[in-house]
Chain A
């Protein structure tokens, strides 16, 4: 079973890339796309924004009268936009947590108007490279090694099927994101 393991720090930063926002709105946006099973706690959103600001990836762009953390509006910096790009176009190492993070990258790319198909193609290439490696490893190997490689190959293939199906549904997903 795949576990949910979105890189929520960078995903939040990516959401911030769609426009300056209060923590409350950011949390709602995150929960809509990635928090189906595990919504973000408010506290986590504010601590993440503080950390992103410290790293120079986000900055406070406005503060309204009153008290409390949600009076602050945050925006993404150009360094932050660069960080999101780097994250989005760096394929994940195939693993059990891959799908959630790849989904997050795809959604963020669509929200930001970046090439989501390229995100998926880069990941596909990473997967197929690993499949080639495993296939080479099988050649002339002992049966137990062959079977172990087969197990990994079929799991990677399952990821690939998801990637291919998501590519086929990108137009639909783009419309959903825009709506």
Chain B
């Protein structure tokens, strides 16, 4: 049984000193007979851009979902700002994700009937920001990501790279402490991928946002400060020892 089912939702406190912002120990998670994670330890420090790489099926996306509190491991713990994320219930983890985390996926997952700027306002409106202020902040983020001129366009009118930059603007608009990006350049050509990664890492570094980046592409991983390699559900390089 996961700890999330037996404990409440403690309040969050700021990370201090060299304590990692995110700290995972002994993560194990199986889907049926498949062991996706087999005893993984990870430290993510505040402000760093960390890439998790590995071949398809290595467990890297599962690891991201566990670190972000989307999935609960069968065994092991995840601490965020020294609070045990794996001890929060679903509602607690959901609140944490909304308030502290941002997400970008391989396909930007923009809402097709909303313009670029309206897409960026969504998480701000959900967080209670007034519409006028949400629109102003959305425009600022589109500018920062270099896609301000496309703010009125629908997702279908954007190139893949432009749509991904809008998705990054949407993820960063609420100024999350951690941005989780799962194959953000997976569907892009080399130049578009470069533009997305440049915009993403510059915006994250300018705002002190920590980035956990999942990618199988070494050129995308090269934008990170460091890299962890996952193979067969285990960290084979770059992880803490325990």
A interface residue numbers (CB < 8 A to B): 117, 121-122, 124-125, 127-128, 131-132, 134-135, 139, 153, 156-157, 160, 164, 167-168
Contacts and interface: CB of A to CB of B under 8 A. Distances in A.
Nearest to A128: B227
Interface string B163-201: 000000000000000000000000000000000001000
Interface string B193-237: 000001000000000000000000011011111010101000011
Contact of B219 (A139, A157, A168): A157
Interface residues of B, number: 15
A128 B223 contact: no
A135 B223 contact: yes
A164 to B, nearest CB: 6
A76 B198 CA distance: 51
Interface of B: 55, 198, 218-219, 221-225, 227, 229, 231, 236-238
A127 B198 CA distance: 20
Given A124-B229, A125-B238, A131-B219, 20 more contacts: A117-B231, A117-B236, A121-B236, A121-B237, A122-B237, A128-B218, A128-B221, A128-B222, A128-B227, A131-B218, A131-B222, A132-B224, A132-B225, A135-B222, A135-B223, A139-B198, A156-B218, A157-B219, A160-B218, A168-B55
Contact of B55 (A117, A122, A156, A164): A164
A139 B199 CA distance: 11
The listed residue with most A CB atoms (<10 A of its CB), out of B218, B225, B231, is: B218
A156 B224 CA distance: 16
A135 B236 CA distance: 24
Nearest to B197: A135
20 contacts: A117-B231, A121-B236, A125-B227, A125-B237, A127-B218, A128-B221, A128-B222, A131-B218, A131-B221, A131-B222, A132-B222, A132-B225, A134-B222, A135-B223, A139-B198, A153-B219, A153-B222, A157-B219, A164-B55, A167-B231
Contacts of B222: 128, 131-132, 134-135, 153
B224 A124 contact: no
Nearest to A160: B218
A122 B231 CA distance: 14
Contacts of B229: 121, 124
A127 B221 CA distance: 11
